[in-house]
Structure 1
Amino acid sequence: MKMKTSLLIAPLFVSLLSTPSLHAQIGKRFPSERKVIKDPVTGVPLTFLTSTPAGDSKIYQTHNQWTSDGQWLIFRSNRAKNEVLAVNEKTGDHVQVTEGGYTGMLCVARKSMKLYYMHPTDTTKRNSALQVIETDLAKVFADSKAGHMQPASVYQRVCGIISDSLNGGGDMALDAEENNVYFRVNRSEAAKHLAPGIKLESNFGPRNMGAGPSGLAGMDLTTGEMKYIVSVPFQIGHIQTNPWVPGEIVFCWETGGKSPQRTWTVMADGTGLRPLYPESEYEWVTHEAVITKDEVAMAIMGHRKIANANNNGATGTAWNGVNPGQEAAWGPSGTREKPTGLAIVNLRTREMVIAGQTKSGSGLWHVGGSADGRWAVGDDFSRSIYLIDRHTGEMLLLSTGHKATAADHPHPTMSPDGTKIEIQSAMLSADNRSMNICIIPVPKQWLNRKYN
């Protein structure tokens, strides 16, 4: 079923974008804060592209971070409140790349110098219609460097409008062909498309999340035309695409913790809906990320005590902000009584392998890998970063000291060429919370390895 958005509305919002803004202007430049230090434990050089407490955060590890020319990283920061910034990896220069604000996920194109994101048409409403906006990054960078910025409308294009009756939040992903985006729709719209007789799922776990229905739809970035994809009886979260296979979508059943069936995949035409990795009640699967043309990395957590007669499989303590997921209401999952670790699932053969696991502690938590299949990477509850050579199975503690008190987790993401990792870190923060953008290289001796 196709849903057409009114293209007559788009020019109105383009004109709104070109009006004087209360926000800092697109193209505004900020001085370099680039700083290279040695990891105090491992000795690995850490390049901090930001180094002051300005509320920085990287894009989630399910999405691309680098611009297509490989020179800039896109991130969020309070340097320009509610706006998006780019930082040049070599010079450390910062450039503001949006004007008028944004909401939800940032989608950085891999084939073109474009950025896609959502913007509410009415910021006073909780669920207003959403503009999907394209920013021409090449134009922004060139004009900013020349010191001759033009009105925001020269750089920002409204691709289409998601009506308030469809708005299901800010989750969005860019198709491999970069001609469509996919997004979540709200419960009322999802219910209209749910197959008859499907039993709705209720909330699962102590965070009271996960109830359905929910759904996915797509937008053509050229015409603004929308097409419904699928409805499911649970709450959808973390929508991502396969950057190498057009129309392939991966998403999760979001509960805020353990899910009865976390990982799912579907094609953009609504076919092929299935669990990506069928899990048992004993497996705590989380933080899946597409890493190669055929593979998805995910964490099978091993962060809870093994059952005994007294604790019934959980410590019974609440989340203290450092060691989450300990509440007994999550059930028997997440212990090391069963296999755990950084798992990699093949989308074609459906086979799963465990690439590696820490010997103790929480186990690997947020995971990723290189597109060439050489490396896997993960963080743990201590915010330490581990690198795995997938050819040999060797695992290396790459960096540590990023402070478990940080405002968020490192969320490691490998660069497209597989030579470095981006994280967010509180290592330099006096308040032990504020985070900065940090690049960690794959050690040269590992990059130079030859395999039979």
Structure 2
Amino acid sequence: MLLAALSAALLTAPAQAQIGRRFPSERKVVKDPVTGTPLTFLTSTPAGDSKIYQTHTQWTSDGQWLIFRSGRVPGEAMAVNEKTGEMVQVTEGGYTGMLNIARKSMKLYFMRNADSAPKDAKPTDAPRNVQIVEVDLARLFADSKAGKLQPAAVYQRVCGTPPPELGAGGDMALDANEDVVYFRVGKAEAAKHLAPDTKIAESFGPRKMGAGPAGLASMNIKTGAIKHVVSVPFQIGHVQTNPWVPGEIVFCWETGGKSPQRTWTVLADGSGLRPLYPEADYEWVTHEAVIAPDEVAIAIMGHRKVNFTKSAGSGLVTASTAPATTPDQVNPGQEVGWGEAGTREKPTGLGIVNLRTREMTIAGQTPSGSGLWHVHGSADGRWVVGDDFSRSVYLIDRHTHEMLLLSTGHKTTAADHPHPTFSPDGTRIQIQSAMLSADNRAMNICIVPVPEAWLKRKYPEKAK
């Protein structure tokens, strides 16, 4: 009887968390109450959904599925079919950090904890045992649809295990050739590759983040070979690759807000390290995303008001920023301690940096309020998109600089911002939204179309 009970438990438990498990469609189309834009919610129940960050690919290479994070199966990732709304669990055994969807093949790559490391362990802690895993999505989707699922090992392959002393963890990005991944390493490993006289950055700003050193390493997902890429004296965040150009990496100096020099780029062999957009002290640059072979979109914030004071004696007028006096947990970055940056005394808005010429242009800016916060663009050079602190989504025509409020009503109380990301063909935008949530926080996966009238506009393939 004991053996029978154990066997039943073993058969039952994996079924609840088995890779390939299917979930019914929740797909529904809702008209935006303000703009009238038809919004396709691919999920519509409060199950802890959130999209992959806008620095990374969202759609599978066949264009049919979007992969996202969800609490439907705690600790596991999900895929949803854009047309049918059917959902499939695509990981088993958990994952940590960023989900990486291949653009050329039906593969998914991620990092997962390989031992019982403390749940509160930070990416900079070492040692840390992690594995880099590949999922065969084509085989998984086919077997799931046929109802002939096999053990997880049939679909998941361990590409390699970085040595624990690297302190690997956090952000991970897939190279354009899809044969290498790049990931952060811990402080101890990073320090080994810095010159002895390097000045290490201290924490910057009220969040007490940004201190270094930090580094990047790579793993060949076919051979498991590890290479050091680069070390820097500050904290690294938002690691991403150029999906069109092999060996090109973009990352940031992560402080949780304003950074002394936010955006950086480097090549896979460690050469070419430089600021992507050299910023001034008064500029607040954030949320960079590679959007085309030669272009990166950035937000240059114009979200803080200026106080003007007139001197009684000389009559001279001086200015100072007027940030909130208390931290804003809904829209971080408003604390006093960030200093005088992020006002509209200088040009602000959605900037586009050319990786080759290093030129920067402003595509547009909201007329008031926070300015654009998370930004992205279509690879054909026609459109850019951004959200603001109100969770509204704005579309900009790069040729005419016309700006359109595309969708709003996604609730400022939402657990996170929309994080808009264009589809590969530039016809629609994926966001995360709390519009349907009764608790005003839980988010769902939503598709926002580019208006048909805009799609019919005739432009060259790429903005000049």
Do Structure 1 and Structure 2 share a fold, with TM-score over 0.5? yes
- Measured against the shorter chain, the TM-score band is over 0.9
* Greater mean alpha carbon deviation, residues 326-335 or residues 294-303: 326-335
Aligned-partner Cα distance in 1 for 2:321–2:99: 38
Query: What's the C-alpha RMSD, in Å, of the aligned pairs?
Result: 1.3
Post-superposition offset of 1:164:
2.3
User: Which residue does 1:48 correspond to in 2?
Assistant: 41
Does 1:67 find its partner at 2:60? yes
Judge conservation of contact 1:59–1:105 (CA < 8 Å) in 2.
yes
User: Which residue does 1:286 correspond to in 2?
Assistant: 286
Report % sequence identity: 75
Aligned-partner Cα distance in 2 for 1:192–1:121: 25
Is the partner of 2:291 in helix, strand or coil? strand
Aligned-partner Cα distance in 2 for 1:94–1:168: 31
Does 1:444 find its partner at 2:452? yes
User: Which residue does 1:347 correspond to in 2?
Assistant: 355
Code of the aligned partner of 2:374:
H
Deviations 1:52-76 (A, max 9, x none): 0000000000000000000000001
Aligned-partner Cα distance in 2 for 1:148–1:76: 24
Post-superposition offset of 1:21:
4.8
Post-superposition offset of 1:166:
1.0
Post-superposition offset of 1:110:
0.3
Aligned-partner Cα distance in 1 for 2:424–2:435: 25
* Greater mean alpha carbon deviation, residues 20-29 or residues 300-309: 20-29
User: Which residue does 2:408 correspond to in 1?
Assistant: 400
Aligned-partner Cα distance in 1 for 2:332–2:50: 20
User: Which residue does 1:264 correspond to in 2?
Assistant: 264
Is the partner of 1:378 in helix, strand or coil? strand
Is the partner of 1:165 in helix, strand or coil? helix
Is the partner of 1:329 in helix, strand or coil? helix
Aligned-partner Cα distance in 1 for 2:14–2:96: 17
Aligned-partner Cα distance in 2 for 1:40–1:163: 53
Is the partner of 1:189 in helix, strand or coil? helix
User: Which residue does 1:103 correspond to in 2?
Assistant: 96
Aligned-partner Cα distance in 2 for 1:279–1:231: 21
User: Which residue does 2:422 correspond to in 1?
Assistant: 414
Code of the aligned partner of 1:181:
V
Is the partner of 1:446 in helix, strand or coil? helix
User: Which residue does 1:333 correspond to in 2?
Assistant: 341
Aligned-partner Cα distance in 1 for 2:365–2:137: 39
Does 1:93 find its partner at 2:86? yes
Does 1:391 find its partner at 2:402? no
Q: Which one of 51, 57, 64 corresponds to residue 50 of structure 2?
A: 57
Aligned-partner Cα distance in 1 for 2:301–2:351: 10
Judge conservation of contact 1:174–1:181 (CA < 8 Å) in 2.
yes
Judge conservation of contact 2:66–2:80 (CA < 8 Å) in 1.
yes
Deviations 1:108-131 (A, max 9, x none): 000000000001111343353110
Does 1:116 find its partner at 2:124? no
Q: Which one of 315, 318, 322 corresponds to residue 330 of structure 2?
A: 322
* Greater mean alpha carbon deviation, residues 107-116 or residues 125-134: 125-134
Aligned-partner Cα distance in 1 for 2:367–2:98: 34
User: Which residue does 1:160 correspond to in 2?
Assistant: 160
Code of the aligned partner of 1:305:
K
Deviations 1:308-339 (A, max 9, x none): 34983132422232343222210111111111
Judge conservation of contact 2:130–2:169 (CA < 8 Å) in 1.
no
Judge conservation of contact 1:85–1:94 (CA < 8 Å) in 2.
yes
Judge conservation of contact 1:21–1:99 (CA < 8 Å) in 2.
no
Is the partner of 2:238 in helix, strand or coil? strand
Code of the aligned partner of 2:247:
G
User: Which residue does 1:12 correspond to in 2?
Assistant: none
Judge conservation of contact 1:187–1:215 (CA < 8 Å) in 2.
yes
User: Which residue does 2:190 correspond to in 1?
Assistant: 190
Post-superposition offset of 1:197:
1.9
TM-score w.r.t. length of structure 2: 0.91
Post-superposition offset of 1:22:
8.4
Post-superposition offset of 1:23:
6.0
Aligned-partner Cα distance in 1 for 2:398–2:457: 12
- Write the mapping of 1:4-15 to structure 2, written as runs, cut at 5 A: none
Alpha-carbon spacing, 1:44–1:174, altered in 2? closer, same or farther (3 Å): same
Is the partner of 1:32 in helix, strand or coil? coil
Aligned-partner Cα distance in 1 for 2:179–2:245: 13
Alpha-carbon spacing, 1:169–1:307, altered in 2? closer, same or farther (3 Å): farther
Aligned-partner Cα distance in 2 for 1:370–1:93: 26
Unpaired stretches in structure 1, ≥5 consecutive residues: 1-19
Q: Which one of 428, 431, 445 corresponds to residue 439 of structure 2?
A: 431
User: Which protein is bigger by CA-based radius of gyration?
Assistant: 2
Deviations 1:149-185 (A, max 9, x none): 0000000000001222112432100000000000000
- Write the mapping of 1:149-228 to structure 2, written as runs, cut at 5 A: 149-228=149-228
